[in-house]
Amino acid sequence: MGNPKAFLEIHRQEAGYRPVHDRIHDFGEVEQTLNTRERKLQASRCMDCGVPFCHWACPLGNKAPEWNDALYKGEWDLAYRLLSSTNPFPEFTGRICPALCEKACVLNRYNHEPTTNRENEAAITEMAFQEGVILPRKDIVRNGKNVAVIGAGPAGLAAANDLNLMGYHITVFEKNESAGGLLRFGIPNFKLNKAIIDRRIRLLEEEGVEFRYSQTIDLGKLSDLEKDYDAIVIATGTPKARDLNIPGRNLKGVHLALELLSQQNRLLAGMEFPKDERITAKGKDVLVIGGGDTGSDCIGTAHRQGCKSVTQIEIMPRPVEGPDDPQNPWPNWPRTLKTTSSHEEGCSRRWNINTLEFLGESGRLTGVRVQEINWQPNPDGGRPIMVEKGKPEVIKAELVLLAMGFLKPEHPKYAENVFVCGDAFNGASLVVRALASGRQIAAKINNYLKATVNL
Ligand SMILES: Cc1cc2nc3c(=O)[nH]c(=O)nc-3n(C[C@H](O)[C@H](O)[C@H](O)COP(=O)(O)OP(=O)(O)OC[C@H]3O[C@@H](n4cnc5c(N)ncnc54)[C@H](O)[C@@H]3O)c2cc1C
Ligand code: SF4
């Protein structure tokens, strides 16, 4: 720890977002950056606690105290080496991680001003790219064994990266036309510029990872792959979104959130869509059903497409406000009310709202009939009981986006050389968890192959 008193003298400073009136007209990243001096001062606030809860909270086990100290001292190379020893792609997490580590930071407990780990992580990584520290590894010694990775999302990429560096020849099979999974076709460009993914994929390719795009592998028939590969990684995420099969679901204007988000990201990548396939919020009243992060991404996208208004409804009660969650106290993640950059851009938010019916005229959506509800304790001790409150009402909407989460995939029993990771294993989660899971599977496969084939 370079400056033991820094946390007393220097306040937490976030880089903040571009002003709403500016950012709302484009899909560029909304987050800004601090200058080098300020960034180092932020790093100096890390207290190098005896028990670093940040390290415990980060699924990758990132060593924040170590790299914060190196950053404070201006030892950028060392900071990147320490960071990348646990995190294969810190340029992703540095932008879009909810930073479980910061909620667990002792300074969060002390005065709700945790160290800015996530932003520090992004700054270290961008400096490393800028200074040419991150170069393709040319010293990989091949071991003659082949591993297939199905799915090029963060979990598949993390597994591919680790196994490639261990000497395996890696082939990544991806259903989409390019790599990244939800990083590319879910998370909007205003949170993660896709050039950041391209830069990393180029490195992986230069290091020998082979990508085969537009290849949908039938997970029920892996026998062909099993013939050619010594092990197989399934990192196919959670392809099925939770739907809302109520009257009017077939009306034009009712879409799953990812239909909008993936199309918008593809448009920004230069792809064209016929007019009748375009999903746009332009000039429309938009209703987002689902109060989570995917819903919030729909709000930001709707604003940038020029919507008239956005409302977000959630069936569960409004979370507690403030920094602390009495039900889930520090150092755990507080399930408190979250206001994102997209919410700040303008949105009416409502909780305890059940959706009853989509209404339309001539096959097109015109509104949604909803019902305010209350949740009452279940006398039998099970799930709380939903009780209607007042009369149903209609929310005017010409575009509805269903953002109610994803179904956890079920897998058949695979052969012993087939390993599942990321959201495909855990259910819908976070990029940092997908990376950690991909790394764990890579280590497992290495152990398995060392024990079963002649390496
Ligand atoms: C809109 C949205 C916003 C999000 N925002 C954040 C955020 O800000 N921060 C955060 O930490 N997390 C966020 N998440 C969650 C995060 O994106 C996921 O947890 C993470 O991407 C999961 O990684 P994965 O590799 O397991 O799966 P995915 O990213 O889903 O990747 C799976 C890949 O497998 C491919 N695939 C599927 N089936 C096949 C097949 N049969 N053959 C070949 N390929 C196949 C898919 O095309 C995809 O490329 C968000 C999720 C969504 C939907
Ligand atoms: S990956 Fe996320 S939880 Fe881990 S150190 Fe970075 S910001 Fe914190």
* Residues ≥6 apart with Cβ < 8 Å to 79: 67, 68, 70, 71, 124
Q: Which amino acid is at 55?
A: H
- Specify the pLDDT at position 160: 99
Residue 245 lies in a domain: no
- Specify the pLDDT at position 306: 98
Query: If residue 109 lies in a helix (H) or strand (E), which one and from where to where?
Result: helix 106-111
| Mean pLDDT computed over 88-107 | 98
Phi/psi for 214 (5° steps) reads 55, 40
Overall domain count for the chain: 3
**Atom 4 of ligand 2: nearest residue by CA position:** 58
Which residue among 191, 217, 431 has the greatest number of ligand 1 atoms within 8 angstroms of its CB, and so is best to mutate?
Answer: 431
Residue 136 lies in a domain: no
Distance between alpha carbon 127 and the CA centroid of its chain, in Å? 23
Residue 180 lies in a domain: yes
Verify that 389 and 435 share a domain, yes or no.
Answer: no
| Mean pLDDT computed over 317-338 | 96
Verify that 169 and 91 share a domain, yes or no.
Answer: no
Q: Is 192 exposed, middle or buried (0-12, 13-18, 19+ CB in 10 A)?
A: buried
Verify that 123 and 172 share a domain, yes or no.
Answer: no
Which tens digit of pLDDT belongs to each residue from 159-196? 999 999 999 999 999 999 999 999 999 999 999 999 99
- Specify the pLDDT at position 201: 98
Residue 278 and residue 399 in contact, taking contact as beta carbons nearer than 8 Å: no
* Residues ≥6 apart with Cβ < 8 Å to 423: 153, 155, 237, 238, 406, 429, 434
Verify that 163 and 125 share a domain, yes or no.
Answer: no
Residue 236 and residue 216 in contact, taking contact as beta carbons nearer than 8 Å: no
Tell me which residues have their CB closer than 6 angstroms to ligand 2. 58, 60, 62, 64, 87, 93, 97, 99-101, 117-118, 121, 432
Which tens digit of pLDDT belongs to each residue from 140-151? 999 999 999 999
- Identify the CATH number of the domain in which residue 282 sits: 3.50.50.60
Calculate the average pLDDT of the chain: 97
| Mean pLDDT computed over 360-372 | 98
- Specify the pLDDT at position 44: 97
* pLDDT band (50, 70, 90) for residue 3: confident
Ligand lying closest to the C-alpha of residue 115: 2
Domain range enclosing 170: 146-239+408-453
- Strands (E) across 176-301 are located at 210-212, 231-234, 254-256, 285-289
Verify that 197 and 274 share a domain, yes or no.
Answer: no
Residue 244 lies in a domain: no
Verify that 17 and 115 share a domain, yes or no.
Answer: yes
- Regarding the beta carbon of 408 and ligand 1, being less than 6 Å apart is answered no
Verify that 337 and 365 share a domain, yes or no.
Answer: yes
Query: Of the residues 96, 130, 164, which one is the last residue of a structural domain?
Result: 130
Verify that 123 and 209 share a domain, yes or no.
Answer: no
* pLDDT band (50, 70, 90) for residue 216: very high
Residue 109 lies in a domain: yes
Verify that 297 and 415 share a domain, yes or no.
Answer: no
| Strand, coil or helix: 370 | strand
Residue 247 lies in a domain: no
Query: Of the residues 62, 95, 130, which one is the last residue of a structural domain?
Result: 130
**How far away, in angstroms, is 104 Cα from ligand 2 center?**
11
- Identify the CATH number of the domain in which residue 30 sits: 1.10.1060.10
Query: Of the residues 130, 163, 184, which one is the last residue of a structural domain?
Result: 130
Verify that 228 and 261 share a domain, yes or no.
Answer: no
Verify that 258 and 391 share a domain, yes or no.
Answer: yes
- Specify the pLDDT at position 453: 82
What does R_g of the chain's alpha carbons equal in angstroms?
23
| Mean pLDDT computed over 17-40 | 98
**How far away, in angstroms, is 182 Cα from ligand 1 center?**
4
Residue 119 lies in a domain: yes
Verify that 281 and 231 share a domain, yes or no.
Answer: no
DSSP single-letter state for residue 276: G
Residue 135 lies in a domain: no
